[in-house]
Structure 1
């Protein structure tokens, strides 16, 4: 029989009288467990209620995407097992989690029926209160979780559609202009044919146009003033050569690297009699190529955004894999691009030496989403958002999400990871973002999530191991 003095030292039983302690000692027992030994298994019949006397234990819950382990605890008096046995017939029939000793441990074990009878007889009002709190808490958490997921989905969707709109609109505009330019170029070719341009002259003109197109990508960058001067010079040269509307033709020709001296090449290729018509066709053909480049750039941008969205959502990926943290961060930032206010600038500082790490990529993206969202809210439209990665001690990946907001008040820093605690106004925050993030980092990845805060410099630091955590 366990001593009543030992039970009295546990916070769970410290307010019980001597008779109640003796009853517990008579109906329960003390058991020892070695380090690594399984104390109870999820899914087994919920037969006992366990209380830690000394040692260290860890709670593990199996989920469809793998086991979730809580942080190990050595606090005397913590309990697990058939904790809902006081509900009687409505109590779960099996354990909802597993419990393992991480160090040699000693636990007080009470049969579930005795535990349920004890709570019901000794604390009848508490049974009703606990049942109400349990049902209300479950309903509230389910509702808030659902709404938070919908809110996060709406935020990401709005950002993605905003980003997709720009290249899509650019492509539509370019295609519309392409129709007019192609129609004009056909008529100009027909006019040149009517004027008697030879096949050799036409071939030389086409070669000249293709040469300008091929050189466009290699052209050195020029200032707006230099471009304006070049257009003025070419416009004057075209007017002097008798080419009508030379000032309108100059901008696309200059953009392709065409200069005033290039007029001689056109004259040599087609002759003086076809110079005007050939120059108009050349400008139209160059504009067509420029618009095709715009369409290509726009569609590549759309493809890049969709790839980022796929990377963010981790579609068609194994839940647990080796991932590049920088790719995950970039995909999350891409989703946020349209939601970052104009007054907030983004800075990234990635360590090139940081290797890929094992982890649940989709869940890590949820962590980055929560931390970045909080940082943007804290800055209220003005500041610098910094995303940084570092390699620590060759064993840990450090990811920092930093903002230049006012910081977290000293008296609130110990509570920010509590479920349902939020510093935001009523209706603006659920208080679950940091709690969920901590559970993902610590429980799913064996890492750590901390915060350092001062006015103008708040940092949420995520530390993740570089090696795979062995399954419990």
Structure 2
């Protein structure tokens, strides 16, 4: 078992009585300062310290207690400060730090300090499961006055109750209790920490605060009361609030043992404390009820206001949609009528001319000395299906293997000749005329595709103004992407385009609207990269009858906070800046995707942005509104 020692700082007349009272349980030793105690504990590791006695007339209390409790070995030691002063204004620091446990006036009765020492050591030993020292009992002081009349005291004012309490306490100890003078900002109790006594306020104000996970709550000043700590002593002896002086304060501090002694010796004290506790609790309860009523009223008013705002927002949104719809239909109705009128004849002529050229190019090519070969080349290009980048590389390697000429293989594939059998029939001498024939055929095909696209765009304008006018059909998604790449090739200059086409089922769709989707996504990617980088287009069947198209670019990416907004009308992050204008591309794209029963998502990080479109292969198209 450890050896117990009670250290005394600054001798006093009752040291021998303390030694006698603790004999057999704890040694008593005087020390000049805190450093001496630390040195002693270093050299005696078997020693434990249950109690400290500090004589304020001989040592500086603040520096002594601060230095002692800086050593963790003394964290559990209780203490008492002995004083011969009526007033103290030098203990704010140790009270704020929670280091002052008791303050006792000396000289007093001979038994006062020994009795207090035995009670503190008794409590320390009991807390640790040790057989405690007996508490020394001194002679009881004569009872003064009559028994407390609680009902009468409840009718007295707070000032009267406080005066009675102070008078009774001074009488109980046969001496005037020391008055503490504390400045503003001193914490008397700390939330969650043990309360070892009470503070009786004679002058000044104290605020109560309660820290919660979200904020620090300040209690109303009317609910504080004049006795700080009394309610905590009646409960778990842990402070529910942090109590802090808000002005200069004059107070009396009493430890739990001092309070018990005073209650035994003067019955008036119990009544005064009970009245103070009842009034404090009543004030808090009334304040709590008032706050509850006020909160309920505010919640009701807030709910009504929120409902009104929700309805107003809904009405505004409906009005906005109606105005947008009216303006859109009015504008597009006029535009579509004008455009259709102006473009129908030129487009019809262009389409007819393209058809005639396509029909006549065959006979023209056949008139060439190598006419049969050139005619075969033209038919091959006209009937060529879209190829992925990987497939083009594979065909180029096969042609190179057969022809043993890498440059010729590259030029043939670039010209659109992807049939290895046809390529083996060509010689280097045929290459130039074949490239011209292939270029001519490709141009004619592009003219036909472009004229058809113009017709479809005119039709899509009409459909946009008059929903349901355009007829849906089964569409090859890969073909629509390839046609779009041809039409927007001028916007993709300088970019590497890689195709990874999968085998897809046809889908029910409006071809012109699909082309508009791919145009918007490709142009958006091109503008993000500003002429440098790559675009990877991949298609595949996913799930049950779902076509997925991914368009990935190597641009700078979209900031995370803007990802949710890229589909908003008139919102764009082109060139790294946020601009609001007529940027309807991505917003319109989402509308078209959803009209086809599909979904569109975006993922982005620096150096890679992917727009993914999923479309069902079958289904009924939703009408645009």
Query: Looking at both structures, which has the greater relative contact order when contacts are Cα pairs under 8 Å and sequence separation is at least 6?
Result: 1
Q: What is the TM-score with the length of structure 1 in the denominator?
A: 0.42
**Larger-Rg structure:** 2
Output the TM-score relative to the length of structure 2. Answer: 0.33
